[in-house]
Chain A
Amino acid sequence: MAKKKNKQTELNKVLMGLTEDERGRVDAFFRTVDRHLRIGREWKRQLIRDFESALVWYLRNGVALSDALERLSPTHLGGFYSRPADDWFPLDAAAKVYPLSMSHKQMAVFRLSMYLTEEVAPELLQMALTFTIKRFPFFATTIKNGFFWHYIDAAKRRFPVEPESTVPCADINVSFTGAKSFRVLYYKNRVSCEFFHILTDGTGGTVFLKSLVAEYLRLRGTAVPPGRGVLDVDGLPDAGESADDFSKYVTGRKSSGFVDKPAIQMGGKLSAVKPCQVIHFDVSSDALRDAARARGSSVTALLTAMIFICCKAAMDRQHGTVHIQVPVNMRSYFETRTLRNFSLYANIHLKVEEIRELEDILPEVTRQLQEGVRPEKMQEMMNGAVKLVRSVRLVPLFIKCPVARVVYGFLGDRAFTTTLSNLGVVDMPEEMAAKVKKMDFVLGTVALSRAAVSVVSANGTATVSVAKLTTDPSFEERMYALLKGLGLEVKVTGSDLYGF
C-alpha cells in the first residue's frame, strides 16, 4: 500500500512539472488505457501502474511527453485485454510428455538470455512484455488437466517481469489459477526468458525473446524493423505459428521407437539444488566454425566429440556406453511456421573405452551425427512419436500420469548421459545487433545427467553453456582445456555454486 502511494506520489510529482495542457493529455491517455483493459480489477490496477511507472521513467530521463505517450500508446495493447480469455490449445506431440513426467523435483525448463549494451530499465521491459504477449497467444496461457490430455488454456492477466532471484531454470509454479508457463527476468544488462517446454522449443523461444527485446528497444527509442526472426508485435497472430506440425507431417509409414539401452552416467554426488551451477564459455563463433571445418566436421559434431571426452573425464567407470542426446530442429526438414515444439533428437553413442583423443573420435561422431539426422530417420522418429501419442489417447490422464512418471523414470533419463543442444547462429536485424552483445542458452537439468550442454551464437560470439548437477568440476575443466586446445580464446563466466 505504501509502495503504491509512493508510486502515485512519484507520478504526481512528475505531473506537477507539466503544463495544464500536458496534464490534460496525460489524463486523456490514461482514459484510453482504461478503455483497453477489461480484465480483473487487480490485474487492471497493476497494468495501469505499469503505464504510470514507464511514463515516470520517460519523464525522469528527459524524454518529451508527446514522445513518451506515443511510445506507450495503448493501441499497442490491441484488443488483447479487452476480450475474455476463451481460446485454448492442445499440447503438441512433443510437449505431451512434459506435464506427464514432471514432478516436485523435476520440470523441463530452458532459458534464453540476451546481453544488451545498456543496463535494462525494468519499467520499459515490463511494458515491452505487455505489448508483446498479445502476438504470442499460446504463451498467454495456463496449463490445465483434461480427462485424456493436458491442454493450455488462455489466460488474460498481467505477465510480470521479475528481477533474477532464483537459480537459472528454476521450476515454474504452474499450479494456480492463470499461472504462467514462462518467466521474463532481468539482471543488469541481461534479459532472460525461461520457458516450460510445453510452450515452445529453443527456436520458438528465440523468436519470442527477439521480439520482446525488439519491442523493448523501440520503447527505448531504437526502432527495430520486423524480420529475421523478429515478429511485428502489433501484427495479427498467425494460426500457423501455434500449430502442432507433428500431426501435419506424419506419414503413418515406418516408425522408430524411443527406447534405447541405458547409458553410463557421469560420477559425482547429485545436488539437491538443480542446477547447482551454470558455466558459460564464450568463444569467437567464426574461430569455432573454422576449427570444425579444419577437421572436416560441423560445429555440432566437434562439440559432441569434445563432450564425449568431458564425460569420460567426469566418470570413474571404464566400461559402458556414453550416449549424447542431440536435439534436431525439424524446421530444417519441413516447411513450417510453427513456434511450438518442433524438434526431435539424434542419439550419438560411443563405448567409454573407445573415447580417446578428439581427432580419434571425431570421424565416428560426425558419421553417427550425419546418419542420425537423415530426413528418413527424422520422419520415422516423428511417425513413432505421433503413433505413441495416438495409441494412448483414450487412456484417462489419471492413469497416464503415474504410468508415464514410472516409465520416464526408468527409460527417459537413463537413456542418455548428457545433452548437447545447439541453437545455431541467431540472426537479427542490424538495428538490434548494434544493441546486443551476445546471447546464451541454458538447458534445465534432468534427474541423472550431471551436466547439460547448450550452445548459441549471436553477434560473433558462440556461448557454450554447461548446467551442472554436481560439484565435481572435471567436466567443465576438460571442456575449457579442449577449447583452448583448439587455439580459441575462451572467456569463462558463470554462477557461484548454489545450495552450498
Chain B
Amino acid sequence: MDFEVIYPNIKKTSLAMLRVRTVFGLIFLAAAVACPVVNIAVGGKAWSVIVLWALYMIWTLVLKAPLVERNLISQGVRLSVMTGILLILIDRLLYPGWAAFVVPIVAYGALIVLAILFFVNVSKQRHNVMPLVIVTLAAAIGSVVAMLAFSEVNWPMIVLAVTAGVLFIATVLILRTRLISEIVKRFHMK
C-alpha cells in the first residue's frame, strides 16, 4: 500500500525526558526499596525515612512536575513546604533540637521570595495567588499556634507570624473582590 506523505519532517521527537524519567524512576525505586531494608537490617536511627522523603521531593518537583498549574509561585510553595517537612524529619529522626528555630527562618525567607514574585507582577501572578494565600494563612496560624504551644518562643517564630500576617493582609487589600472570586472558583463543586 503506497501512500503520499503529507506531514512535514518533524523535529527529532524528544524522548530524552521520557528516558531520563524511566532511568531515574528505576534508580529511585531501587533506592526506595533498598534504603528501608538496609536501615532495618543495620538498625539505628530511621534515616531511610529522610531518604524516602528526599526522593519523593526530587520526583515530584523535578522529574514528574505537576501537569496543571506549574508556575513559579506554586512550585515555590511546594518546595518550601516540602523543605520544611524535610527539616522537621531530620530534626526528629537524626539530630534533634534545632527545627523550632531553623524552620521558621526558612519559612519566612521563602515567604519573602514568594511575595517578591507576586508583587513584581501582580496582574499576571494574581491568577496564581491561591497557593500563596493558603500557605501564608497556614504559616500565620501555624506560627501563632506554635508560639502558644511551645513554652519557649523564639524570634524567628515571631518574625514568621508577622511576615505571614502582613503578607496575607497586603494580598487581601490588593486583590479585594478578586480574591473572593478566586476563592469561589477554587472551591466550586459544580
Contacts and interface: CB of A to CB of B under 8 A. Distances in A.
A146 B186 contact: yes
B190 A272 contact: no
Contacts of A495: 5-7
B6 A494 contact: yes
B30 interface: no
A144 interface: yes
B42 interface: no
Interface stretch (A71-79, A148-156, A224-232, A308-316): A148-156
B1 A498 contact: no
A278 interface: yes
B71 interface: yes
Contact of A147 (B4, B67, B187): B187
Interface string B1-36: 111111111110101001001000000000000000
A393 to B, nearest CB: 5
Contact of B7 (A143, A177, A494): A494
14 contacts: A86-B178, A146-B185, A146-B187, A149-B188, A149-B189, A166-B13, A175-B70, A177-B124, A178-B124, A244-B190, A491-B4, A493-B6, A494-B7, A498-B10
Contacts of B128: 177
B151 interface: no
B67 A175 contact: yes
B64 interface: yes
B146 to A, nearest CB: 25
Interface in A132-187: 142-151, 153, 155, 163-168, 174-178, 187
B69 A88 contact: no
B71 A176 contact: yes
B5 A494 contact: yes
A394 B2 CA distance: 54
Given A148-B187, A496-B5, A499-B15, A153 B127 contact: yes
A403 interface: no
A250 interface: no
A3 interface: no
B154 interface: no
Interface string A476-490: 110010000000000
B65 interface: yes
A145 B6 contact: no
Interface in B102-149: 123-125, 127-128
Contact of A40 (B11, B21, B123): B123
B4 to A, nearest CB: 5
Contacts of B96: none
A153 B178 CA distance: 13
B39 interface: no
A85 B126 CA distance: 11
B5 A148 contact: no
A104 interface: yes
A90 interface: yes
A278 B69 contact: no
B70 to A, nearest CB: 4
Given A149-B189, A394-B189, A498-B10, A102 B5 contact: no
A162 B92 CA distance: 53
A352 B4 CA distance: 33
Contacts of B2: 492
A211 B112 CA distance: 47
Contacts of A244: 190
A84 to B, nearest CB: 8
A146 B68 CA distance: 11
Given A86-B181, A145-B68, A177-B127, A164 B5 contact: no
A175 B68 CA distance: 4
Given A99-B68, A104-B21, A104-B64, 14 more contacts: A99-B67, A142-B127, A146-B185, A164-B7, A167-B10, A175-B65, A175-B70, A177-B71, A177-B124, A244-B190, A280-B6, A492-B2, A495-B7, A498-B13
B8 A187 contact: yes
A165 B10 contact: yes
A104 B10 CA distance: 20
A105 interface: yes
B7 to A, nearest CB: 4
Nearest to B184: A88
Given A167-B13, A496-B5, A499-B15, A144 B187 contact: no
Contacts of A90: 188, 190
A279 interface: yes
Contacts of B124: 40, 177-178
A377 to B, nearest CB: 26
Contacts of B9: 496
Given A164-B8, A174-B68, A499-B15, A279 B3 contact: yes
A209 to B, nearest CB: 18
A121 interface: no
Contacts of B13: 166-167, 273, 498-499
